Structure 1
């Protein structure tokens, strides 16, 4: 009997609550029901707001529902609770459940417990999705069977019984997933750690500690890749138990990947240098993507050939919503960078091009300062189009910059994305670049950053 089979057999005697019915929980609930496990769905939506088709299907299969205002109370009558990453682990309701002896877990935590194959895990404030995708693409180019999941791809626990020990699992992990993780991947990479999600996390230290969980539970045979250039990430090196490798675009490292002065991405294995690909041959633009390649090269060194990396570099067009080219109209290029929900991501977009941009910004407030991007906006943006609840905060930060000159940057306030795209189109002339780089979360106007990016692309394609 496999570990997964034993787990599902033992769960038949449990009452299992699922908080929310998102994409990952939908498939997970179906799996648990197929195993004969008693399921309770806890959701703040009322019965009238709940998807009718899903309600009828699950109700017919014997699911108990706890919906509406007091939906969370039912978890105290359950043995196991699965939370979504968006349901903060340190909420008082979950703390009370843990004190009562109720198991509080998540799809990703349970997958790590049961996964039979080698695991690659990536986190970071910026770059983790592209890096995760690159690791996956490198391994696929080598002919490996890859399961991509976590914060990207699909839920992996529903397919855990189909995974063999010769496969590999590549997962992106957010701070909200990692905050409760007590098992780490075999190979871990941290791209960087910068202020983010401070509207949810108690403080910056809790955010750092969440990221630390990626490597804290590794064993002596594991491998860890850290940024040498990012001080907060570099300072985690003392927690590494297995092999420690670095990546750097600023200096050559003895054991890890680096960007050589001539622009070649290289790997040094105790001084023996392997050349991979020149930065100019990487299809996706920007120095931040060079860093993502360096991370992925260090994570897969020894498992992936140079030729596989070169093939991916020359053909991989990037991940949706990450400085994604949308279209060219009248000589103006439009880019969707909806993932840029923090100032550091905006800086990466500004650095990706050698000219001033027309930039659309604004959204919901994550409790982080916009001051770090203010100087760069003044130097590298000619029209700044602001919307959403943070519009005033961004404008205040820009005008407080010592680089601010109203003759060099025009600030325009708009009501919504449709008006933002129209204004950008109005001011753009041949040769210009227009980017959606919000510096904020999307929740004031959109359900997710993906919805924001798709709306932007729709509007641009309608011009």
Structure 2
């Protein structure tokens, strides 16, 4: 065990640690902190009945529960771990800071203690796939990889097993980054567009949170930016270390780029190294070409060229991202539940296919605009099935599109995922493609995009 890790776990013995949110990132930590001798408060808005067996399991470990609407009040603790989706500026957390408590998060402490090189990815779209590609490239190069963060797996619980020669590959959301004051050795920003404006006070706060991924780097670090995205390209003057910029539109001085024929190169000053053609990448779509450009720029120099080619030709993609569920009666059904924003659906699912598709869209409203999605749906969709809170906003964007006319696309509404699938089944003919890509978060009907995607897959696989 690294000496810093050992010292940290020794220091928490006898201290009080409050974990705000009993979810995926905090639950494993609660158990470890109890094992290391800390007094632990598990705080959650849910009631004891809603927590069910989890409440009994925690109490059996000696954890004190603070539940219900007042779960954040009077947090008398030495350290407070907020769950990533919790606002950093909540009055209760501000009060705790004034009382001298350390307010932190699982990922912040992991960055402080991690003994190995960290590659981190953020962005509005494509960050999970890019993170996964980087991990696949490094694994194929023989590295022991610790993959986690916003991708769904907390890393601090396994910090004692991380060796200096390993690598950590993490996905970071704006919620995690907003309070971070340490940056990784390699920082990647895939792109930025309006997102999570239901939580951030405005777009500038969202952008400023994302910038923390590289603002605290040193001169020996690397930052990878999307040169084709106006916001990310504007970050370049603030980069302190080595700057790589990737592009599908033109060559930059340093970074992976693709020409008009889809040939991908690595630019290094005045030299270009040919890597492969975009047609050789196994996972389809322009967004995945960009994801590879970002990932290649991140690992260049750490992964051999032939390894990059092998991974690109063989890696089949990530669950819930344009995932083929099944083919039934000549109709292909795809799960793209990761489509949690208008840009992700437009640049993802709606860019992939050579025909108009049947699309299921709609979900939780993150207070972001849908105007730009309307024309893309009109161009790429023949039947649109809407559900959830954003259904009216998506429909309005489609109806306002200059190219829209009645029946192009046909618009239907559903009250549930089951009804949405049945409507698609009635509309689909042999040769059609049906895809779930909601362009919205899942929180109105599901706890997360994975649960939504899994529910969709179960319904589709049960079709007779």
Please indicate the TM-score interval, normalised by the length of the shorter structure. Answer: over 0.9
**1: distance between equivalents of 2:23 and 2:52?**
11
5 Å-filtered alignment, 1:248-259, equals: 248-259=247-258
Conserved in 1, the CA contact under 8 Å of 2:330 and 2:432?
Answer: yes
Map of 1:140 onto structure 2 = 139
1:73 alignment partner, SS class: coil
**2: distance between equivalents of 1:282 and 1:48?**
48
Conserved in 2, the CA contact under 8 Å of 1:46 and 1:68?
Answer: yes
Conserved in 1, the CA contact under 8 Å of 2:360 and 2:384?
Answer: yes
The alpha-carbon deviation at position 403 of structure 1 amounts to 1.3
* 271 and 455 in structure 1: CA distance in 2 versus 1, 3 angstrom threshold: same
- Once the two structures are superposed, residues 104-159 of structure 1 have per-residue CA deviations (whole angstroms, 9 ceiling, x without a partner) of 00000000000000000000000000000000000000010000010114211111
Matched, 1:284 2:297: no
**2: distance between equivalents of 1:357 and 1:402?**
20
Conserved in 1, the CA contact under 8 Å of 2:14 and 2:37?
Answer: no
Conserved in 2, the CA contact under 8 Å of 1:42 and 1:74?
Answer: no
Map of 2:72 onto structure 1 = 72
Map of 1:62 onto structure 2 = 62
Map of 2:13 onto structure 1 = 12
With structure 2 as the length reference, what TM-score do the two structures score?
0.97
The range that moved more, 117-126 or 12-21, is: 12-21
**2: distance between equivalents of 1:289 and 1:340?**
14
Matched, 1:437 2:441: no
Map of 1:315 onto structure 2 = 314
5 Å-filtered alignment, 1:270-419, equals: 270-348=269-347, 349-419=349-419
- Once the two structures are superposed, residues 235-265 of structure 1 have per-residue CA deviations (whole angstroms, 9 ceiling, x without a partner) of 1112111001100011122211001232121
The alpha-carbon deviation at position 61 of structure 1 amounts to 3.1
Map of 2:224 onto structure 1 = 225
**2: distance between equivalents of 1:173 and 1:393?**
28
Map of 1:265 onto structure 2 = 264
Map of 2:214 onto structure 1 = 215
Conserved in 2, the CA contact under 8 Å of 1:66 and 1:74?
Answer: no
**1: distance between equivalents of 2:411 and 2:239?**
46
1:382 alignment partner, SS class: strand
Map of 1:113 onto structure 2 = 112
**2: distance between equivalents of 1:152 and 1:378?**
32
Conserved in 1, the CA contact under 8 Å of 2:24 and 2:152?
Answer: no
Structure 1 runs (4+) greater than 4 angstroms displaced: none
2:25 alignment partner, SS class: helix
Unaligned stretches of 5+ residues in structure 1:
none
With structure 1 as the length reference, what TM-score do the two structures score?
0.97
**2: distance between equivalents of 1:286 and 1:96?**
47
1:450 alignment partner, SS class: helix
Map of 1:247 onto structure 2 = 246
**2: distance between equivalents of 1:401 and 1:100?**
53
2:160 alignment partner, SS class: helix
The alpha-carbon deviation at position 384 of structure 1 amounts to 0.5
**1: distance between equivalents of 2:145 and 2:322?**
25
The alpha-carbon deviation at position 454 of structure 1 amounts to 0.7
Conserved in 2, the CA contact under 8 Å of 1:277 and 1:309?
Answer: no
Map of 2:44 onto structure 1 = 43
2:184 alignment partner, SS class: coil
Map of 1:30 onto structure 2 = 31
**2: distance between equivalents of 1:366 and 1:44?**
21
The alpha-carbon deviation at position 360 of structure 1 amounts to 0.5
**1: distance between equivalents of 2:254 and 2:62?**
56
Conserved in 2, the CA contact under 8 Å of 1:357 and 1:382?
Answer: yes
Unaligned stretches of 5+ residues in structure 2:
none
- Once the two structures are superposed, residues 385-442 of structure 1 have per-residue CA deviations (whole angstroms, 9 ceiling, x without a partner) of 1111221121111111111111421001111111111111111112111111111111
Q: How many residues align?
A: 461
The alpha-carbon deviation at position 48 of structure 1 amounts to 2.8
**2: distance between equivalents of 1:435 and 1:49?**
33
**2: distance between equivalents of 1:460 and 1:421?**
7
1:71 alignment partner, SS class: coil
Conserved in 2, the CA contact under 8 Å of 1:192 and 1:230?
Answer: yes
**2: distance between equivalents of 1:248 and 1:191?**
11
2:372 alignment partner, SS class: helix
